[in-house]
Chains A and B, each alone.
Chain A
Amino acid sequence: MSCEHSEELLNAYLDGETDRVVGADIERVLRECPDCSTALRNHQALRAAMKSGRLAFTAPAGLEARVRQALRDEQRAGQRGESLVEPRAGAPARWVWPRWLTVALPAAAVLVVGLLFLRPASGPVPAGDLLSEELVTDHIRSLQADHLTDVASTDQHTVKPWFDGRLDFSPDVRDLAEQGSPLVGGRLDYAGNRAVAALVYRRRQHVINVFVWPAAGGDAAPVPEPARRGYNVIRWTRSGFAHAAVSDLNATELSELADTLSR
């Protein structure tokens, strides 16, 4: 297109992804700019060819039955506490279910039960302590080059679905830009012998990791812990998920963030 009108906008217009105001503007451009109307014709031809249905593959006969079987095998394996090891197609499996799941599930159960009994107690809490220590280590590691986010996005609707298929739970993702701590992305991390979601926020030059994982027991309000290696840690439980915020941000502001997220 020789005119400066963005090709992306033209695409969005054709996909019905622009609002009416922009749409009207594009229609005017299309009428007036010959290159644009050529581009439009090319796009329409391509769309028609792709939508004709000839490009869509349908599941081969028998696949549905094999999927149903695999689901039942998986459920049986789950009841025996095992893990599905291979897909059941004709060819030998080339892909194995991650081993850590078989370790992580029982470990998570132990951890959850442990926390249930240990957390409300007064005084030092060894199990929680160890976990906080581990989370601080995760936080420090995340600050190293290119470790901070696996999905970099300030859009909670992008970050949340990113975790689908990567974790066995779906964490609640909230942007805190209005509170001065914008969401910058998400990451998979590992703590307490299980995969956890790490949501990354930034407040001024400080990075805040909020770790999330499923937990039993009722809600527990945020409890600031003594600083470890210069990092503040605050943990709480809300709606079946344990949370831990870790940052070098001062304790007051980190508490405010934790309070907002725990509401």
Chain B
Amino acid sequence: MTGDRLEGRPDIPRFEALVLPHLDAAFNLARWLTRDGQEAEEIVQEAFVRALRFFSGYRGGDVKAWLLAIVRNTCHDRMRRERPGGQTTEFDEEVHGVDRDEPGPEAAMLIAENSQAVSRALEELPLEFREALVLREIEGLSYKEIAGVTGLPIGTVMSRLARARRRMQVQLADRPRKEV
């Protein structure tokens, strides 16, 4: 039973050397998903403990994407638990996905001018869009890695990213300038 968790001790020094460098990424994702610093800290701790438990099942591959998948699942599990009954409805690509508005040509300027508004617009995106965009833009994951982290087909990742960005642009272009 080599490497079996039932017998062996998890190799904490090796785990820490491999996984702890991604603490910031883990916190960043949890913070964006929960929009709450305290909750994000709790989730990160929980996710690292889970990761340690699953470490024997880790078979190589990108550690950061592996850890972020666990952080993401920990977030979603907690959200499901905290909103019992209610928000179990699946994210509906059709309902959430259709945007008729087009960002105008002036959107680029407005976006560049106001980074605070960019942050707020991201925070206001539906969870599924926010998640895809944070993984792509802030964490720099590839489509394939995002598909792995979220458990979605790559085609869905592509369309979510496109819609998420369009929403951001429309929202930023619509925001009155006085909010700056």
Contact = CB atoms under 8 A, between A and B. Distances in A.
A158 B165 CA distance: 23
Q: Is the interface of B mostly helix, strand, loop or mixed?
A: helix
Contacts of A248: none
Interface string A113-149: 0000000000000000000000000000000000000
Given A46-B169, A55-B118, A165-B74, A151 B151 contact: yes
B49 A57 contact: no
A43 B163 CA distance: 12
Interface string B8-28: 011010011000100110111
B87 interface: no
8 contacts: A38-B108, A42-B107, A43-B165, A43-B169, A51-B138, A60-B41, A153-B153, A165-B50
Contacts, number: 206
Contacts of A94: 42, 78, 82
B58 A63 contact: no
Interface stretch (A11-19, A175-183, A203-211, A219-227): A11-19
**Which of A44, A59, A89 has most chain B Cβ within 10 Å?**
A59
A226 B137 CA distance: 54
A22 interface: no
- Indicate the size class of the contact surface on chain B: 35 or more
Contacts of A3: none
Given A8-B158, A170-B58, A88 B45 contact: yes
A161 B24 contact: no
B82 A57 contact: no
Interface string B127-165: 000000100111000111001110111100011011001
Given A48-B112, A63-B23, A161-B151, A8 B169 contact: no
Contacts of B43: 87
**Which of B28, B45, B51, B152 has most chain A Cβ within 10 Å?**
B45
Contacts of B137: 47, 50-51, 55
B8 to A, nearest CB: 10
Contacts of B142: 17
Nearest to B49: A74
